[in-house]
Structure 1
Amino acid sequence: MELALVVVVVVVALGFAYTNGFLDAANSVATSISTRALTPRIAVAMAAAMNFVGALLGTSVAETIATSIVDLDGAPAVDALGVLLCALLGAIAWNLVAWWFGMPTSSTHSLVGGLLGAGLAGGMVVHGEEVLDRVVLPLLVSPVIGFVAAFALMVALLWAFRNAAPSRVNRRFRIAQTASAAAVALGHGLQSAQKTMGVVWLALLTVGAVTPVEGIPLWVKLAAATAMAAGTYAGGWRIMRTLGRRIIEIDPARGFVAESVSAIVLYVSSIVLHAPVSTTHTITAAIVGVGSTRRLSAVRWGVARTIAVFWLLTAPAAGLLAAGTTWLLLGVLGS
């Protein structure tokens, strides 16, 4: 039973990584496509490759996911694996709902909400203080930093290039967007693929297949990186339209700034803070930030409000879905 559940958890976790990839493909390339800096297929191919590379550059976020949300030590292995499976199913279900409506939502919030909901429903111990300090606060602060930093940098660039010819500025920033989009894709791989690694590693730790000292096996890293890259290449076209055009009509300079600021936030969160943050929330906030420098009315606030509603619903909705699935599954396994 335990071996079968481990295999199922691994397969579903890779399915989560795939949905994460196609949902978040828009984060890296939506602005570059909308400004015609990159063609759609070249953009998603580049994003997929950079996602794969980024996924292999570290494990600190994976370790945070595995050790700082739910404590599975001492729980029966079957129950612990059931909790992980239901957490993933709840997160995937909400991701698909958001994709259907074309809304950029956070796979990070989905997974954290799913782990908390499934953990509580399964009677597991939740690391309340660590969840607040290492997960919730970074998730809440990163979009604010993205908005403020993008707004400030865009204002500085507008002043610096105030006398330059718009056509020349747009041409140069359109070229620069290739690098900034790649930087976001690398940061997304560094962040999001590690979340899948963390869940798989936790499942392996639960059944004693690995030890904490050994770290995350290479095959887990490669599998998570490949699943996310495949999902990214599939492309979340509904969400790309929302990020690239429905919030604001974006120009190359603003696209470059939004992407650059988002990439920096992702790198600092991963490498320095070891904290899982939402690529989606960060890039969306940065887009709103650069758009606000044009004029407040340039931002389609109705679309922004709808996105914000989905943001607020993500963690609790995924948590409730995971909790309901956990009660059903553990009831079946216990009968």
Structure 2
Amino acid sequence: MRAPDFWSGGSGGIAPLLLSPIAKIYASATARRMTRAGWRAPVPVICCGNATAGGSGKTTVALDLGQRLAHRGIAGHFLTRGYGGRLKGPVRVDPAQHDSKLVGDEALLLAATRPTWVAGDREAGARAAVEGGAQAIVMDDGLQNPGLEKDLSLLVVDGNYGFGNGHIIPAGPLREPVASAAARCRVAVLIGEDEAGAMKLLPPSLPVLRARLVPGPEAALLQNQPVFAFCGIANPRKFFATLQQCGAVLAGRVAYADHYPFDEGDMEDLLAQADALRAIPVTTKKDFVRIPQAFRSRVTVLGVTLEWDNPTQLEALLDPLAQRVPIPA
């Protein structure tokens, strides 16, 4: 879906007001659901969640945590709903057999680095992961899902978007009140500068870890080069801005709805536009896995990683969890 324009920025406008009765029903349903007890897994469960619908950087944070667990010698497995995919699971993602239409784009990104499970039923997915050898589980999303007890929950916030207009779905992008989401989290993770003033909405007692997205090494090849950028992510402006920060010359840009399923017609049109501009077609890693295989060799990918202001703060959160990791028989 493409988020409505009124979800962004201030809280004014007639649409949020008209939709507020439905938003109250949505918020009440979420609050009731969260009173249910979840399954206590025999391994640590870490949740990378957010308070809003759409992207905030959860997958990037999950990938970072998976790498940190691996450096500690811990076999971390990813668990995700597989948004945009047909498979309900639980199923272990096999990039050689599964595409984004089956498991979603985020699952493929995760599975490229660590064992990854797709499951609409998070408890069933966690049980399958444990049986499959997981010594820890990292959830990409699931903060509003009560199926699993979490040992550590992180509230991921996109500094550029923040909490949108501050209203609950469908009046705004919030899945629940910010205070409710924050109450279930140990820390908040702010990605980028707090351009939207999101931090003032968080409880003063909630620690904030700060990080920024750093372009991958391929960025150097795009410096001073004309590029034609296209993507289907929650915040396309962030991708376009990143390209400009890398020194690329943005000759053209196209933004699609989040998780947009590119088909052959789309790609033929996009590549024709890039050729007409004599520009390099560039997209994100998340979009790349949704491009038909036959067109991938003609598209450049700009990847990003996280750079933490103080990584020792994050490592300190993982220290006590490492003590819960079961010792292999």
Higher relative contact order (CA 8 A, sep 6+): 1
- Structure having the higher strand fraction is 2
- Structure having the higher helix fraction is 1
Same fold (TM over 0.5): no
The two structures have a TM-score, normalised by structure 2, of 0.29
The two structures have a TM-score, normalised by structure 1, of 0.29
